Structure 1
Amino acid sequence: MRLDHPANSTIVHRVQVKKSTASAPRAMELNFTGKRALVTGAGKGIGREIAVLLSSFGAEVVALGRTQADLDTLSEEIGCETATVDVSDVQCTTRVAESLGAIDLLVNNAGISRPQAFLETRVEEFDETMSVNVRAVMIVSQVVARGMIERGTGGAIVNISSQASLVAIKDHAAYCASKGALDQLTKVMALELGSQGIRVNCINPTVTLTPMAAMAWGDPAKSGPMLDKIPLGRFANPLDVAYAAAYLLSDAAAMIHGVSLPVDGGYLIS
């Protein structure tokens, strides 16, 4: 069948849009009441801030960390469940993750940095960095995702990556490599777990003012040039990252999946 239209005619396409059956909230609310949230590396810095923030939004927090004293003070502050684990230990990490029961939300935050020039990077430090920053994420996420799938509940996972996955940073060969790998792992997780109702995203902060960052960036001669590249003129605070994580874990981000979200004050546009 041939359809002829006059040269100056207007063709109108009418499309029926099916309205969503989901109720749309009038204002965005972050409410994790009834949810269990597992945060690794929760004893200090970004992980601790995330744990405290999620608890303030009603989540039942399970905090993992290497130092029991840090976890004890966190538990006193927010009343969370804790477990001490070195996530570079495969068997211990697997055993602890499997012992935690149902987890609805997961934040893979545990990470290390061993600044070394490329030619001075030692195999031992490279392997340790990869084991904590990448392998542990895979192990914990596998355990948690299997539980989500078995329960049929779905869930959300946020991996804390870095701007070091997106740009080269001098003296950070192992760290940059590990965070680049983490971004790719996040994408594969999102691709394979999305059909099970499990959302996976990662956050890529700039230098964030934690104890680890203070060690790496405490020298003004080093921090000055980095600050000059950040249009907002400051490094991130742990709370900046924590709010981004909370949003990505929430139902407000229900259609955000497989993204790498820079929290960098505009570093990547400079």
Structure 2
Amino acid sequence: MQLNFSGLRALVTGAGKGIGRDTVKALHASGASVVAVSRTNTDLVSLSKECPGIEPVCVDLGNWEATEQALGSVGPVDLLVNNAAVAPLQSFLEITKETFDRTFNVNVRSVIQVSQFVARGMIARGVQGSIVNVSSMVAYVTFPNLPVYSSTKSALTMLTKAMAWELGPHKIRVNSVNPTLVLTAMGKHVVPDPEMARKLKERHPLKKFAEVEDVVNSILFLLSDRSVSITGSGILVDCGYLAS
């Protein structure tokens, strides 16, 4: 999707790999100044070579204090993509405190924290803004060994609506994208068995999984002024899975 984000500054979390990395590349190509946030410095180094001029920030978003230090004074941001997430595989009876805390800290708490930094800055500057939370179709359906991850994405669905309601009067829009399985490194971790992947793909009416580009295009649309009247909503990039 060809959009012009010249003159705007974007912040993307989980920028080192997969959807986040390609979102950074697309925004950079579309003229935006981009702050790329990842906990893996080697990913940021390689991304900086691909996208000269981006602002890399290496921080573990699961650490509240470190995140505040790294991003609390990030400066003016017009576009925010909350993409960072972890997806540990544990059945319900195997869930540990450590898994629960880590997953909610990264997938939900960091969204609140980073969005607060960005939204407060937008309000202080009196500018319009757009925030996109990267959720998942498992916010609405169950999936084996992902009860905690699914719960965080369900929480993100309601958080998106609550943010949209509260920030709307300040001309800040908040939406989500909810993809089906995307075969990034995380996706392959969630579905490592090729036979399981084949059966899951067959359950999609389009008989395929979403591509990274499909999700990125939806993110860019929601960030852009082409979606100026959309807030509190979610785009299902699920190849029809929830219709089946």
TM-score, with normalisation over the residues of structure 1?
0.88
Deviation readout 1:18-75 (Å, 9 max, x if unpaired): xxxxxxxxxx961100000000000000000100011111111110001111001111
Give yes or no for the alignment of 1:256 onto 2:224: no
- In the alignment, what sits opposite 1:56? 29
Q: What does the per-residue CA deviation read over 1:156-183, in whole Å, with 9 as the maximum and x for residues that have no partner?
A: 0000000010111121110110000011
Asked if residue 166 in structure 1 is aligned to residue 166 in structure 2, the reply is no
| Superposition deviation, residue 239 in structure 1 | 1.3
Partner of 1:177: 151
**Does the 8 Å contact 1:97/1:144 carry over to 2?**
no
Mapped partners of 1:52, 1:177: distance in 2: 30
Equivalents in 2 of 1:73, 1:29: separation in Å? 24
Structure 1 consecutive aligned stretches of length 4 or more whose deviation exceeds 3 Å? none
SS in 1 for 2:174: strand
Contact 1:29 1:252 (C-alpha < 8 Å) held by counterparts = no
Task: Give the Cα–Cα distance (whole angstroms) in 2 for the partners of residues 211 and 57 of structure 1.
Answer: 25
- CA deviation string 1:123-179 (max 9, x = no partner): 210111110000000000001000000000120000000001011112111011000
What secondary structure is seen at the aligned counterpart in 2 of 1:99? coil
CA contact under 8 A between 1:202 and 1:260: conserved in structure 2?
A: yes
Alpha-carbon separation, structure 2, partners of 1:130 and 1:73: 28
More moved, 38-47 vs 227-236: 227-236
CA RMSD of aligned residues (A): 1.1
1:218 aligns with 2:188: no
Deviates more, 1:224-233 or 1:240-249: 224-233
Separation in 1 of the partners of 2:213 and 2:86? Answer: 19
Structure 1 residues 211, 29: CA separation in 2 closer, same or farther (over 3 Å shift)?
closer
What secondary structure is seen at the aligned counterpart in 1 of 2:56? Answer: strand
Report whether the alignment pairs 1:65 with 2:38.
Answer: yes
C-alpha separation in 2, matches of 1:232 and 1:168: 20
Alpha-carbon distance in structure 1 between the residues aligned to 2:18 and 2:235? 19
1:137 maps to 2:104? no
Shift of 1:111: 0.3
Q: CA deviation at 1:217?
A: 1.0
- SS of the residue corresponding to residue 209 of structure 2 reads coil
Once residues 49 and 58 of structure 2 are traced to their aligned partners in structure 1, the CA distance between those partners, rounded to angstroms, is 15
Matched, 1:150 2:124: yes
The match for 1:200 is 174
Identity %: 48
5+ residue gaps, structure 1, are 1-27
Q: CA deviation at 1:224?
A: 2.4
Which residue is equivalent to 1:120? 94
In the alignment, what sits opposite 1:241? Answer: 215
1:74 matches 2:42: no
1:34 counterpart residue number: 7
CA distance in structure 1 between the aligned counterparts of 2:30 and 2:205, rounded to whole angstroms: 31
Q: Which amino acid aligns with 2:126?
A: G
User: Which of the residues 80, 84, 94 maps onto 2:68?
Assistant: 94
Q: Using the alignment, how far apart are the partners of 1:98 and 1:34 within structure 2?
A: 22
Structure-2 residue corresponding to 1:44 = 17
Paired residue for 1:189?
163
Distance 2:71 2:124 in 1: 15
C-alpha separation in 2, matches of 1:239 and 1:84 = 24
- Give the deviation of 1:228 after TM superposition: 1.6
> Contact 1:199 / 1:256 at 8 angstroms: preserved in 2?
yes
Contact 1:156 1:200 in 2 (8 A): yes
